[in-house]
Structure 1
Amino acid sequence: MDQRIHDHAEVLVDWSARIEAGDDVVVRVDDGAHDLAVAVAEKLGERGANYLATYVSDEVESAFVRSHDGDFDQDPDFETAMLERADSVLSLRGKSNAAEKAAAPGEKRAAYKQSRTEIKARRMDTDWVSTIHPTRAHAQQAGMGIGEYRDFVYDAVLRDWESLADEMANMKEILDEGSEVRLVKEDTDLTMSIENRTAVNSAASVAYDSHNLPSGEVFTAPEDPEGEVYFDVPMTHDGARIRDVHLTFEDGEVVDWSAEVGEAALEDILTTDEGARRLGELGIGMNRGIDRFTDSILFDEKMGDTVHLAVGRAYGSCLPEGEDGNQSAVHVDMITDVSEDSRMEVDGEVIQRNGRFRWEDGFEQE
């Protein structure tokens, strides 16, 4: 087995999830992530943790959703009971077919996802971490050969996370102290409030309230967006390709939308429920170790020179105590490239221009 798989497992268990002896750990294993699951199980055994594996397959889920009558009124207790006992949930993503979910009708997929809102909420109450094992399906989706893609993944995962966390603390401080963010580029002029929000320094560890490996972003929960925004980075959602998205916000809600490719899939997202037309996240990519788009949100949204916004559910970690924030069965990130002819302002001060932050070499004041 590639030594980097063992190194990946060690970063996941020790830095990201901070697993200790006696912890109850659920490991959700995608059908293509077997090798990483073996390495993770070995590390959990060495740490003296308790281990329970569950099998995740888009093909299996799609078969269930397609054959169902669409009324997913099921008692979730059998699954939430397991999650209530868990200290950590490690999701090892690694698909054998990245487009499998598209085999089920969009309205059924949306109804199934909505029926699992409580289960997802329980999982997110744990110290959960999601990561990815490089598979041929993901490599094909990224337009790379498998060897090249493995190098790409491990370059992103096996980082000096402490140093990156220190750098991202600059952005967290700016957002924590700010009241309004404005994003300006071609076909984009959007303002949103971040007052009384707490930004997350997403440094790939639950110790930073960060739950993805790799990571490398700072994010918060905006509200009251006004204006328009253009997302020029392609994405695949539930197996459907979506590209060149335009959203228009009025009174904090999406009132108009379009996509050059995948407009029906975009509409499925935005009509899932009322909260799906409001913002749940503003995220700023700061991981310059990710050097290309790969059609995987886990990597693409962390890439330096990008900003992403998510429609749907807001993360409670960004909200004041006692405030629920935007609620939705979905949380879908969309990315815009800010490497050229762009700026981001906080309270009228430019903090990023053409992808460069004000503390970096090459930042232009005007």
Structure 2
Amino acid sequence: MDERVRDHAELLVDWSARVEAGDDVVVSVAEDAHELGVAVAEALGERGATVTTLYGSDEVSRAYLKGAEARAVGDDVPSFDDDPAVDRAIFEAADVYLRIGGGRNTTASADVSSATRQAYAKARKGVREARMDTDWVSTVHPTRSLAQQAGMAYEEYREFVYDAVLRDWEALADEMARLKDILDEGDEVRIVTERDDAPDTDVTMSIAGRTAVNSAASVAYDSHNLPSGEVFTAPYDTTGEAFFDVPMTIDATRVRDVHLVFEDGEVVDFAAETGEEVLAGVLDTDAGARRLGELGVGMNRGIDRFTDSILFDEKMGDTIHMAVGRAYDACLPEGESGNDSAVHVDMITDVSERSQMMVDGEVVQRNGTFRWENGFEE
């Protein structure tokens, strides 16, 4: 076994999930993530945790949803049990949930309709909430399917993943704390970008009363992804227009060049060069799906290229992302629910050129460089 696989497992268990002896840990292992799953199981055993293993297969999920569609012949949308008690009980009994991605086919469920996906997502809201009440962390094992999606040779992709994952997270956390402090003290964020061949972005949102998350790849920082390397908050009262030029895969469908128009906090118009039907399906999921649940700023400079994986792309330095749908509780005042939705879909824009992010009128980042970094242009 490549020693970096063991390093990845130990980082996931110790730094990210903070697993302790006696913890009940649920581990979901994708089809081709077996090697990392083995290393994680070994680490959990050494630490005295209890382990329940799930098979996290996109192909199995696709088969179930296609079966439901076949059952629903004559009906518009298949129905699903809205209280799947067994699944919910697993997570309600767990202290920690670790999701290890790395399937065989990144578009395994491309032929499942958007309506079916929406119905399934709504039905499993209780399961999702129970899972998010655990100390959960999501990561991926570098696989050939992910390398292919990223447009890289397999060995090249492995190097890319470990450069992003095996970092000095304490040092990065200290740097990201600078932006967290600015956002915590701020009331309003404005993001402006200029494009020659696409719509400009000029969008303003309120962040007053919100708490930004220093997402340093650990539940100790209210961070749940490995790799991570972003600072995010939960905006509201969004107005203006935003253009997202980084291609992404949503519901196994390629989506690119998304343009959103906001009025009074809600998406009132939208377009996409490709995948517009999928985008429409996301926005029509429920009332909260047309409002922003997240503003995130990528700060992991170990990620140096786009790979069509949101886990990596949204953390990349020189990017900003916004997510329609659910807001994370960690960003909200106690007792406030924030934006609620069955979806949380991130969209990314490159801010490396002709861009600026302002907080309360003061430029915090220009052309991808923060005001405390060398090369910042006054």
Of the three residues 93, 117, 120, the one matched with 1:112 is 120
Is 1:309 paired with 2:317? Answer: no
In the TM superposition, what is the alpha-carbon distance from 1:56 to its structure 2 partner?
A: 1.1
Is 1:169 paired with 2:182? Answer: no
Matches for 1:1-366 after TM superposition, within 5 Å: 1-68=1-68, 69=72, 70-186=78-194, 187-365=200-378
Which residue identity lines up with residue 143 of structure 2 in the other structure?
A: T
In the TM superposition, what is the alpha-carbon distance from 1:75 to its structure 2 partner?
A: 2.5
In the TM superposition, what is the alpha-carbon distance from 1:238 to its structure 2 partner?
A: 1.6
Which residue identity lines up with residue 20 of structure 1 in the other structure?
A: E
**What's the C-alpha RMSD, in Å, of the aligned pairs?**
0.7
Following the alignment from structure 2 to structure 1, what is the Cα–Cα distance between the partners of residues 326 and 312? 20
Following the alignment from structure 2 to structure 1, what is the Cα–Cα distance between the partners of residues 219 and 369? 27
CA contact (8 A) 2:44 2:51 kept: yes
Following the alignment from structure 2 to structure 1, what is the Cα–Cα distance between the partners of residues 276 and 60? 26
CA contact (8 A) 2:294 2:323 kept: yes
Instruction: Please state whether the residue corresponding to 1:218 is helix, strand or coil.
Output: strand
Q: Bigger shift: 19-28 or 57-66? A: 57-66
CA contact (8 A) 2:83 2:126 kept: no
Following the alignment from structure 2 to structure 1, what is the Cα–Cα distance between the partners of residues 239 and 32? 42
| TM-score normalized with structure 2 length | 0.96
Following the alignment from structure 2 to structure 1, what is the Cα–Cα distance between the partners of residues 21 and 67? 42
**Number of residue pairs matched?**
365
Instruction: Please state whether the residue corresponding to 1:39 is helix, strand or coil.
Output: helix
Following the alignment from structure 2 to structure 1, what is the Cα–Cα distance between the partners of residues 80 and 122? 9
Which residue identity lines up with residue 294 of structure 2 in the other structure?
A: E
CA contact (8 A) 2:246 2:347 kept: yes
CA contact (8 A) 2:82 2:124 kept: no
Q: Bigger shift: 73-82 or 316-325? A: 73-82
Residue of structure 1 in register with 2:75 after alignment: none
Percentage identity across paired residues of the two chains: 69
| TM-score normalized with structure 1 length | 0.99
Which residue identity lines up with residue 39 of structure 1 in the other structure?
A: A
After superposing on structure 2, the runs of 4+ consecutive aligned residues of structure 1 that deviate more than 6 Å are none
Following the alignment from structure 1 to structure 2, what is the Cα–Cα distance between the partners of residues 116 and 75? 7
CA contact (8 A) 2:101 2:139 kept: yes
CA contact (8 A) 2:83 2:123 kept: no
